[in-house]
Structure 1
């Protein structure tokens, strides 16, 4: 039993996988064989340590030895190409860098604060702003995360009820454009720090933060995977901006995992360590919304691990 616990808790294997993906080893050795010395020369890394890495991952079935060196085994094919998994595993992407903040889990558990800030000296969002390549990788990560879920998110809720939708912090607009494609009578506004151009004639893009005033008068304000990235203080500020902009009969729509319902315990810890946030439970959402005069009208289970929570003004 002791060895099983050590194997489960050991960091050698998860870090070896992440380093191999960061170096692109599964792709380099897909359909070809090469020695550690040849790969080291290609990558400009040390040959002996690279041999140690390949030997360990070979023992786990990710690579296999041949007469000409190593090549990617069937199990290792899962680490090839560009997918959500490989984007999150790479140590030079926003997701991979964020995962390393788990070394500060003790700090987060004892203080309730983000481990990311302790490790990197600034919070996740400031880090993205300071490193455009991290920001680009984060946008790609979110697009890949939503790609398989968007059909279920769009089909699982009556978005066509709303003539106008403001996607608050909507990134590259992937979800908003899918909603509009399914709802010809709906127009959208995408608000993000650096929204992309050319999303179609029914989409207006506005550069801005959800901590600043939002475009007023829309039927619905969509917060997709936003509130769980923030502690209660910041979540209140975001909701306040939505309520400030919404008309009396407007709706605030929150799409994200809900604690105890559609969220895993591992994601809960990730939200804590990376952002100082959490996957709130339904009652916590109600408590968060109440000071803003909002009541929870409905909770609808969507694709995979997400729900949509629909809020309205208590007086509407």
Structure 2
């Protein structure tokens, strides 16, 4: 098979020039190779002594020839080293893929989990651009939230990813004064990691996590393990349905950007209804809306559309959603790590 490398035609010269400009932007080989290595836990296995292709293939359940080709490509890209033919080692770059690395990159890249599948969804990007609809269903066969409901392992990794990053979690908690709260209801609260930290900040308050039944069960397990005695409860339901009453603060953290305007208004309206005239609705969103990183905003805006039809928004956009849901934004606060915290009440 001939390639532009095989001749000296003007077309070949043009190809090389174009490749130099586009290569780092269009290469899919290396990104997918790294994700395959993360999924197979190659860094863990090699660090554990499986440095030869034969042993490594046996422990990873892979084809030895294909595995050697994968690793040699990654070696050429500076990921892993080949100390002698057929024997591989973990260098500083490959160490980022270790399961116990504090960056959590292994989970972010694992093709069997949410992180990797989130990226694979972009193979359906053309569908999204042509139709304005999420690509997830086209790639994986069912809409995003339905897929998570039907695939417990992926849903569990999604929940874990949403709860990861302790500094980031504490930054969100620190964005609001919880000291006067008596009952905090975390709407779409995932595994309860955020609520657990809030209850530590408000030692006399009670808390409730509201999320879909499978996630709610994981929240029960998490909260039970974190010694919060009897100050919490978990409700397994959709936040599109009527929410539990009795809370004085209803929190929606990193939820609204997952949804279109129509659905986002419905979620906020449910919170407003449950909070009533005396309660508060606290909406917490992330750095993208701060406007100080256009590249991050643009990427996340596209990601939210491709995955579930959501979108990133400006502060003004979120205030407009709140108003449409019958809420008034009393104040906004930006945290050190870039969360925006909206304190809302009935308008």
Give the CA deviation at 1:33.
5.5
Residue 169 and residue 157 in structure 1: after superposition, are their counterparts in 2 closer, same or farther (change >3 A)? same
How many residues are treated as equivalent by the alignment? 313
Give the TM-score normalised by structure 2.
0.85
**Which residue of 2 is the match for residue 36 of structure 1?**
53
Q: Supply the distance in 1 between the matched residues of 2:62 and 2:233 (Cα, whole angstroms).
A: 47
Equivalent position SS for 1:259: helix
Distance 1:143 1:260, change over 3 A: closer
Q: Which of the residues 303, 314, 328 maps onto 1:281?
A: 314
Inter-partner Cα distance in structure 1 for 2:61 and 2:315: 51
* Alpha-carbon shift at residue 31 of structure 1 (Å): 5.5
Give the alignment partner of residue 290 of structure 1, picking from 310, 317, 323: 323
Aligned equivalent of 1:261, options 284, 291, 298 = 291
**Pick from 110, 114, 137: which aligns with 1:94?**
114
Computing the radius of gyration over CA atoms, which structure comes out larger, 1 or 2?
2
Query: Within 5 Å, which residues of 2 pair with 1:231-250?
Result: 231-250=260-279
Pick closer, same or farther for the CA change 1:248–1:30 going to 2, 3 Å: same
Is 1:186–2:186 an aligned residue pair?
A: no
SS at match of 1:252: strand
- Stretches of structure 2 lacking an aligned partner (at least 5 in a row): 1-16
Q: Shift of residue 171 of structure 1?
A: 1.0
Paired with 1:136 and 1:25, the residues of 2 have a C-alpha distance of 22
Q: Greater relative contact order (Cα 8 A, min sep 6): structure 1 or 2?
A: 1
- 2:173 matches 1:154: yes
Distance 1:296 1:110, change over 3 A: farther
- Say which of 218, 223, 243 aligns to 1:214: 243
Matched residue SS, 1:149: helix
The answer to whether the 8 Å contact 2:209/2:235 transfers is yes
Matched, 1:170 2:203: no
Distance between the aligned counterparts of 1:73 and 1:241, measured in 2? 51
The reply to whether residue 120 of structure 1 matches residue 140 of structure 2 is: yes
- Root-mean-square deviation (Å): 1.9
Contact 2:189–2:209 (8 Å) recurs in 1 = yes
Superposition pairs of residues 187-206 of structure 1, within 5 angstroms: 187-194=206-213, 195=216, 196-197=219-220, 198=224, 199-206=228-235
Please give the secondary structure, in 2, of the residue aligned with 1:189: strand
* 2:35 equivalent in structure 1: 18
**Contact kept? 2:79, 2:93, Cα under 8 Å:** yes
The SS at the match of 1:148 is helix
Which range moved further: 39-48 or 269-278?
39-48
- The one of 59, 81, 85 equivalent to 2:76 is 59
> Structure 2: how far apart are the matches of 1:191 and 1:262?
32
Local SS of the residue matching 1:312: strand
How big is the shift at 1:303? 4.8
Partners of 1:150 and 1:303 within 8 A in 2:
no
SS across alignment from 1:280: coil
Decide whether aligned partners of structure 1 residues 251 and 268 sit closer, same or farther in structure 2, where only a CA change above 3 A counts: same
Where does the alignment leave 5 or more consecutive residues of structure 1 unmatched?
A: none
CA gap of 1:296–1:114, structure 2 versus 1, over 3 A, is same
Question: In the TM superposition, what whole-angstrom CA distance separates every residue of 1:116-156 from its partner, at most 9, and x where no partner exists?
Answer: 122122111111111111111112111214x2212222233
In structure 2, the CA distance between the partners of 1:262 and 1:121, relative to structure 1 (3 Å rule), is farther
- 1:31–1:71 Cα contact (<8 Å) kept: no
Distance (Å, rounded) in 1 between the aligned partners of 2:279 and 2:164: 30
Distance in 1, matches of 2:40 and 2:325, equals 48
2: CA distance, partners of 1:303 / 1:110: 38
